[in-house]
Structure 1
């Protein structure tokens, strides 16, 4: 018999021996006299409770007849409450049991961990150690589950150490829980060490590793691990599929995303509403909004999460009117919007410049649906007002809103100051931001952009010195493009790609044709006081242009070029890409950190409102 069968049989034996309530009537229990009532009768009554109501009556009788110190009856009562999910009374009764067994400790810890009561689960685990009872292989997975739920790495490492000390260092279920714990605590490397040292790997451990990679930003590794799992003969489950769909959406890897969509259809997971919603989100974030809408239309039984995903998809692509249409259709079909829905629709109005509509939905949320705005809603409103040039109104909203503003709200306003070149407000907002978040490089860059646009190079240098003093490093711009089942990555002025010579030569030819069409570089986006010719060269080798040139060289003329960038596209690259789309007669779709830009025939879907 292998370890898994041994564990399963042991757990089955525990379930069989556990005095769980049997199926019985919910009719009130007849109270007997104290003389007639015995521990055996109460034991029988506890075992026959089929709902919490009669259980409370039996519990009351136990107290009335002075049997509240009987360990067996207390154990039965605690287990009965646990079986109904009544954790607080179960915990209180458990605390009165003298010297509970390891088996009982395990059941109580498991119940709290599986129901999301992670703090209580760890407190119970700690109390078990303090009582002198050594945890066994049945306790560790649930203690680790609690650590993972709390992202508590310190306790997770302690539990890991305990498992080794008591001789459980090679247990399949404990190792799987360790992989999950380390991954959810953000320590993917440690999760991988545990995974690589496992003597046997099951679906749980593979899935935990894939999810860990995907949710911690190692998206390419998540996709590679999925293939390794399949090669090992392990069939993916829903959690694994959701993780790789997330990875595809973050990478903009639409071809791989299509494969996973087909996999979902073949394995029957497409009927799972959560999977369908993830597919919609994947297509939308990979730039294939038409495919996202097709999947959405074919999805049956759409819930508010699915509707909200479609609204958000239209919003991030800048199609605010389509987002409004979906919102209205959702309400017509009787699905009530929630907080996330209103965040999506107000954000969609912001990206599309629909000021009055966005304000209307903000008011609708409070007046009609009784939803109090949260930070996300106020952030969308500040962004909406700021993009519309109403900086005074945006600042007044921040100062008068009932919840404390965070740095993202002030950051939205600073971004609006950059768009409209408002130095006075920008400097004042920047001072607030640097106090709240002194290490976020993006806000320093925004302030530098405001100064550079006015050729205030001394102030640009001052901001750079401030970043150096606070040891803040500017995030490098990275652009990704999928080709031939690979993700190709480019940085600013990158020369590491095997096709570097061809890419730079192609950009050189494009430069000549662009100037013939009237292209004038926006050198305000170069944060250095250098000659114009050097500024132009610095702009022309931004990461998105390198990725565009790679796509033009390698991809068929009828294929749209899809690029994902980790930062906001700069104004000069935006103008240049419009011209490139016209010169090459190509559709170019760029997703930056805020939204999508669909370039074609010299125009962009954002209508230069971004």
Structure 2
């Protein structure tokens, strides 16, 4: 029988990481059996880990051949499945967990290394969320005291954050004695990406309470929330902190800063950040083109679009949205049409409803309402409310009552409770002194029990 010390140092184990094919793995496995290492946990764990990345079914067959697998071996395979297969094999991870629970051995029971991977798997898709909540109860049952295990608690924070249950995630974080940076970042990112009303304010509050030094990921969440809130000095502080601490201006930080400065009206600062970045991905270009579009610099947006193509980057769905929008805001109709048609003919990208929305806006703003209407009719998908509202706005600008009424009829079928739609049509009637129709529109609002939201001023 091979001794435990030999089982960790045998030269055949050094060959396992070098295996690139299932055939190689089978050869090493055969050698492990021949020399008597198949009864030792360490060589089996290494074999299981790699085989699960090469051929998952073979890894499972190895586990089935082991008379009494240890919880360490189960944990190894569960971790590998979750790390390498993401959501595609989540059911296998939970199947292995069920085997741990049903084991008759007193030595096989879940431990603190079992749950982090399972909580990660539970957050992949909505259908697995209920399993994660059940696991939370299992943690309380099998791991005592739970508050002392930082890794399990951090995994719980990550799970609830991924599920969008931010209050529960925050409550769990507050129970951890010393949360690490990764746990803080998980919650910060979840709040920053949430659509809840108070989520951006929560990011600022959490950032102030952080007990560890923030890194680039922490700053991305802070900058994003400052952009949404218009907290100019908070975003500037994050930028200065980045420079003072010699942190990396990577694509994530750079993109968030470009978006922040653009939203705050500081387009020159946004462009400065863009130019200072050593590496730029498509998201960086999209953010910069979006900023140029909003501020009416359509020609510069097109130049940047041409630049990313010349650098070998491939435009994505978002690139076409922001670039056509840039053309729309600057009256560059022919350029916008050319870019729209290149989606399918050059890049093989099928336009989505948001791209048709940009096209309708492009044509409508320039007064080519007949072409915009024809575009809507020929769309391969059903127009959404955003698209019809854009068309209604163009009809208002150019005083086209007939098409304005068509747009409103469609909007009422999609969102009759939106007061803004009635106001747009009312403004069209008022623009041509059709006051009777203005009054009828107001009566229609009353009939549908739609209330116009009052304006708000931030000036005292």
Q: TM above 0.5, one fold?
A: yes
TM value normalised by structure 2: 0.80
Give 1:217-228 correspondences, 5 Å limit.
Answer: 217=195, 218-228=199-209
Q: How far apart, in 1, do the equivalents of 2:244 and 2:48 lie? A: 45
1:284 Cα offset (Å) = 1.1
- CA deviation map 1:86-111 (0-9, x unaligned): 36445664685577543333223322
Following superposition, the deviation at residue 19 of structure 1 comes to 11
Distance in 2, Cα, partners of 1:182 & 1:56: 38
Q: 1:75: Cα distance to partner?
A: 7.2
Residue 243 (structure 1) shift: 0.5
> Hey, what's the Cα distance between the residues in 2 that align with 1:172 and 1:319?
50
- What's the CA shift for 1:247? 0.7
Q: Does 1:166 align with 2:142?
A: yes
Q: Of residues 404, 420, 428 in structure 2, which corresponds to 1:445?
A: 420
1:81 aligns with 2:63: no
For the pair 1:181 / 2:159, whether they are aligned, the reply is yes
Kindly indicate whether structure 1 or structure 2 has the higher relative contact order, using CA contacts under 8 Å at least 6 residues apart.
Answer: 1
- Looking at structure 1, the residues matched to 73 and 11 of structure 2 have their Cα atoms a distance apart, in angstroms, of 13
Q: Which runs of 5+ in 1 are unaligned?
A: 1-12, 25-46, 477-491, 493-541, 551-610
Aligned 1:402-421 pairs, distance under 5 A: 402-403=380-381, 405-420=383-398
Aligned position for 2:444: 462
Paired with 2:205 and 2:48, the residues of 1 have a C-alpha distance of 46
Cα distance in 2, alignment partners of residues 176 and 457 from structure 1: 59
Please report how far the alpha carbon of residue 407 of structure 1 lies from its aligned counterpart in structure 2 after TM superposition: 4.4
Q: Is the alpha carbon distance of 1:91 and 1:56 closer, same or farther for their aligned partners in structure 2, counting shifts above 3 Å?
A: closer
Judge conservation of contact 1:20–1:79 (CA < 8 Å) in 2.
no
Runs of 5+ consecutive residues of structure 2 not aligned to the other structure: 104-108, 430-434
Between the aligned partners of 1:118 and 1:86, the Cα distance in structure 2 is 17
The match for 1:120 is 89
Tell me which moved more, 182-191 or 284-293.
182-191
Match of residue 150, structure 1, among 125, 137, 143: 125
Q: For 1:235, what is the secondary structure of its paired residue? A: coil
Cα distance change of structure 1 residues 21 and 244 upon mapping to structure 2, 3 Å threshold: farther
Residues in 2 aligned to 1:48 and 1:315: alpha-carbon distance in whole angstroms: 50
Q: Which residue of 1 aligns with 2:263?
A: 285
- 1:22 touches 1:50 (CA, 8 Å); kept in 2? no
Structure 1 336/115 Cα, relative in aligned 2: closer, same or farther at 3 Å?
A: same
**Partner residue in 1 for 2:116:** 141
- C-alpha distance 59-338 of structure 1, shift in aligned 2 (>3 A): farther
In structure 2, relative to structure 1, the CA distance for the partners of 1:412 and 1:145 (3 Å cut) is: farther
Aligned pair count? 429
Task: Give the Å deviation of 1:188.
Answer: 1.7
Partner residue in 1 for 2:71: 102
Counterpart in the other structure of 2:106: none
Trace 1:258-297 onto structure 2 (pairs within 5 A).
258-297=236-275
Distance 1:199 1:75, change over 3 A: closer
In terms of fraction of residues, the more helix-rich structure is 2
Alignment of 1:486-505 (within 5 A): none
CA gap of 1:335–1:71, structure 2 versus 1, over 3 A, is same
